[in-house]
């Protein structure tokens, strides 16, 4: 879960002026940050499922590691006041590894390496968080996974 | 025995009647004990008793589960559709004629040797059939077989997957019969998942890779 503390953010730095990288000052959304937890769901303007990496990766990309402390650079983001939902695949002794890999590839549009990573995580750890984001989309994915006869569930991210 | 067809379908050759019966039993198995494992899946952790989880579960049962049932039942229809079009096996026919030729040869040989042919058995047809699974039914077939395996494992297996082990005389007949079904369904799933993966790769990885492979193979030519 990506947690944001409003106090840590200030206006965009001169290094990344407004518009150059679609940066947005966090003050604009400061009133939303007063909530205990805030999720960033940078899914806007993503045209294809294939473009959707998991949320944690996007959040990592959206923080500029070289920028001034206290400055965040957001790209194509929208802010939700609700916690995102996670799609979790659970291990089961029947479905084969090949089938789980293929199903993840087909459903989420992930590259084979990433699908293999999640499948191995399911195999060895018993579960893998494969996607998180808006509730409706998460429900859709779990529905599809159930239709593929995989054991999957919805969770609040960070639970 | 199976063969991959050029159009992406699968040809099952010489399927014996007992295996046809196993396939015919798929709907009954998939609706029996253990079927709730996949027919009525829980959308959230079963331990979660929050009002939100309860509400989601109710919605799931009302809206999603009926749709899942329809998908799963259609998968059985796909299996029956192929079984209904089963043709007497070409391989079986070939085997029958080979046996007949062998018998004729043996009879002629016996006449020349002035022997008798009391022990000679007439050739018999095995009543095996050939099944053609067209490309569009590959995935429903995989799903139907998976339903059978999931239900059987929920009923007879254990969490370690011991169910896939070989026949066990200490277990009940029902267990051994279920294990035979489970193994046969697993065996059929291997070529099906191969075809599904191939179809996916061709569709989404495109022809660039195959072109690259062609280029590589040209480079490997010795002249």
- Tell if the CB–CB gap between B43 and A154 is shorter than 8 Å: yes
Segment 18-37 of chain A within 8 Å of chain B by CB:
none
The answer to whether the CB of A110 falls within 8 A of the CB of A152 is: no
Q: Is residue B97 part of a domain?
A: no
Q: In a 3-state reduction of DSSP, which class is residue A39?
A: strand
- What angle, 0 to 180 degrees and rounded to 10, lies between the N-to-C axes of helices A97-108 and A112-125? 130
Q: Is residue B167 part of a domain?
A: yes
Q: Looking at the partner chain, which of B71, B153, B193 has a beta carbon nearest the beta carbon of A99?
A: B193
- Tell if the CB–CB gap between A153 and B42 is shorter than 8 Å: yes
3-state secondary structure A74-120: CCCCCEECCCCEEEEEECCCCCCHHHHHHHHHHHHCCCHHHHHHHHH
Q: Which of A48, A93, A104, A109 to mutate to test the interface with B (most CBs of B within 10 A)?
A: A93
**Helix (H) or strand (E) segment spanning residue B131:** strand B129-133
Closest Cα in chain A to B68 = A147
Write the CB contacts of B88 (distance below 8 Å, at least 6 apart in sequence). Answer: B125, B127, B128, B129, B130
- Tell if the CB–CB gap between B43 and A139 is shorter than 8 Å: yes
Q: Does the pTM exceed 0.95?
A: no
- Tell if the CB–CB gap between A106 and B200 is shorter than 8 Å: yes
**Helix (H) or strand (E) segment spanning residue B100:** helix B90-112
Closest Cα in chain B to A107 = B200
Contacts of B193 in chain A (CB under 8 A): 96, 98-99, 102
- Tell if the CB–CB gap between B45 and A155 is shorter than 8 Å: yes
The answer to whether the CB of A145 falls within 8 A of the CB of A87 is: yes
Q: Is residue B63 part of a domain?
A: yes
- Tell if the CB–CB gap between A149 and B146 is shorter than 8 Å: yes
Q: Is residue B145 part of a domain?
A: yes
Closest Cα in chain A to B71 = A147
- What angle, 0 to 180 degrees and rounded to 10, lies between the N-to-C axes of helices B138-156 and B65-84? 110
pLDDT of the residue at B83: 95
- What angle, 0 to 180 degrees and rounded to 10, lies between the N-to-C axes of helices A97-108 and A135-147? 140
Q: Is residue B120 part of a domain?
A: no
Residue A155 contacts B where some CB pair is shorter than 8 Å: yes
Count: domains in chain B: 1
**Helix (H) or strand (E) segment spanning residue A154:** strand A152-156
Summarize pLDDT for B71-109 with one digit per residue, the tens: 999 999 999 999 999 988 877 777 777 777 877 777 777
What range does the domain containing B159 cover?
A: 2-89+128-218
B21 Cα distance to chain centroid: 12
Mean pLDDT in residue range B215-221: 44
| Helix, strand, coil percentages, rounded to 5, for chain B | 65, 10, 25
For residues B153-162, one letter each, b for 16 or more C-beta atoms within 10 angstroms of the residue's C-beta and e for the rest, the string is bbbbbeeeee
C-alpha to C-alpha distance for B99 and B161, rounded to whole angstroms: 42
Tell me the pLDDT of chain B averaged across its residues: 83
pLDDT of B177 strictly over 50: yes
- What angle, 0 to 180 degrees and rounded to 10, lies between the N-to-C axes of helices B206-219 and B173-204? 80
C-alpha to C-alpha distance for B20 and B33, rounded to whole angstroms: 22
Q: Which of B26, B36, B37, B43 to mutate to test the interface with A (most CBs of A within 10 A)?
A: B43
C-alpha to C-alpha distance for B87 and B93, rounded to whole angstroms: 11
Q: Is residue B110 part of a domain?
A: no
Q: Which residues pair with B132 in a beta bridge?
A: B11
C-alpha to C-alpha distance for A59 and B161, rounded to whole angstroms: 39
Write the CB contacts of A1 (distance below 8 Å, at least 6 apart in sequence). Answer: A37, A39, A83, A157, A158
- What ipTM goes with this model? 0.80
Q: Is residue B25 part of a domain?
A: yes
Q: Is residue B50 part of a domain?
A: yes
pLDDT of the residue at A35: 40
The CA-CA-CA angle for residues B51, B53, B55, to 5°, reads 70
Mean pLDDT in residue range B56-73: 94
Summarize pLDDT for A86-104 with one digit per residue, the tens: 999 999 889 999 999 999 9
3-state secondary structure B25-92: CHHHHHCCCCCHHHHCCCCECCCCCCHHHHHHHHHHHHHHHHHHHHHHHHHHHHHHHHHHCCEECHHH
The segments of chain A whose pLDDT lies below 50 read: 1-67, 73-77
């Amino acid at each position: 879960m990506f947690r944001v503390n409003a106090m840590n953010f200030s206006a965009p730095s001169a290094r990344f002026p407004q518009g150059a990288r679609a940066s947005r000052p966090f003050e604009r959304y400061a009133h939303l940050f007063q909530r205990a937890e805030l999720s960033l769901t940078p899914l806007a303007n993503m045209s294809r499922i294939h473009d959707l990496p998991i949320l944690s990766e996007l959040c990592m990309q959206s923080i500029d590691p070289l920028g001034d402390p206290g400055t965040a650079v957001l790209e194509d983001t929208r802010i939700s006041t609700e916690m995102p939902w996670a799609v979790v695949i659970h291990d089961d002794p029947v479905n084969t590894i090949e089938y789980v890999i293929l199903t993840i590839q087909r459903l989420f549009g992930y590259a084979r390496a990433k699908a293999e990573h999640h499948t191995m995580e399911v195999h060895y750890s018993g579960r893998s968080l494969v996607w998180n984001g808006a509730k409706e989309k998460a429900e859709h994915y779990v529905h599809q996974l159930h239709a593929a006869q995989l054991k999957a569930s919805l969770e609040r991210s960070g639970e | 025995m199976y063969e991959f067809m050029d159009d992406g379908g699968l040809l099952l050759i010489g399927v014996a009647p007992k295996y046809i019966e196993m396939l015919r039993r798929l709907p009954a198995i998939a609706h029996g004990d253990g079927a709730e494992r996949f027919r009525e899946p829980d959308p959230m952790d079963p331990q979660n008793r929050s009002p939100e989880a309860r509400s989601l579960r109710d919605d799931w049962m009302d809206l999603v589960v009926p749709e899942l049932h329809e998908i799963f039942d259609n998968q059985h229809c796909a299996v029956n559709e192929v079984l209904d079009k089963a043709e007497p096996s070409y391989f079986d026919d070939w085997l029958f004629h080979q046996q007949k030729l062998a018998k004729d040869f043996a009879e002629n040989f016996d006449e020349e040797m002035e022997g008798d042919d009391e022990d000679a058995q007439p050739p018999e047809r095995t009543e095996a059939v050939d099944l053609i699974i067209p490309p569009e039914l590959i995935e429903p077939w995989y799903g139907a077989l998976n339903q059978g395996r999931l239900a059987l494992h929920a009923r007879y297996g254990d969490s370690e997957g011991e169910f896939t082990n070989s026949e066990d005389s200490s277990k009940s007949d029902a267990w051994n019969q279920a294990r035979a079904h489970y193994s046969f369904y697993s065996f059929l799933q291997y070529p099906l998942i191969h075809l599904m993966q191939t179809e996916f790769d061709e569709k989404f990885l495109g022809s660039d890779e195959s072109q690259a492979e062609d280029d590589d193979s040209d480079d490997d030519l010795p002249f």
